[in-house]
Amino acid sequence: MRPKGRNCDHFRRLSTEGPDRPLTERELAFMDEHRLQCADCAEFERTACLSLNMLRGAALLPESAQGFDERLMRRLRVDNARASFRYWSPALVGALIACFALFAALQMITQPTRLKGVTIPGGEARMSRAHAYPSLELVHTPSIQ
């Protein structure tokens, strides 16, 4: 069915726009008048209306599983928490402490010892000859200053 003229093109355009937007009174009056005059356009409008109704009836409405909304909200809360600094701060603090400990260990390993030998005068041990078995006794008790 090919439109006969300009009025048929205008009618078909209005009939396809009708479900999407409210038509003005002038457009509705034009459609009523043209529908009475042109059987092809009336048939086009009827088949378009039936096709649209059939599509609406065949449309599948998704059904969500039970508890889907709660799982989705929980997932969003977890994702938001993971994106925040508070979630990662314990790991960052632990990594900082581990880096500091590693740095300190490397410094201790690579630096020569700077401690001098500690000697306490008179603090040596002597062997007593009074006993048959060797023993050690301190002649002088060291004092730590």
CA separation for the pair 33, 30 (Å, rounded): 5
Q: Which residue ranges make up each domain of the chain?
A: 6-58
50, 70 Cβ separation under 8 angstroms: no
**Residue 121 DSSP SS3:** coil
35, 41 Cβ separation under 8 angstroms: yes
pLDDT of residue 81: 82
pLDDT of residue 129: 58
pLDDT in tens, the chain (145 residues): 455 678 899 999 988 888 888 889 999 999 999 999 999 999 998 998 888 888 877 777 777 778 888 899 999 998 888 888 777 888 889 999 999 999 999 988 887 666 566 666 665 556 555 555 655 666 666 666 6
Distances (CA, A) of 97 to 40, 93, 105, 123, 136: 83, 6, 12, 42, 47
Helices 39-58 and 25-37, interaxial angle, to 10°?
Answer: 120
pTM of the full structure: 0.39
pLDDT of residue 82: 81
pLDDT of residue 86: 79
Amino acid at 99: C
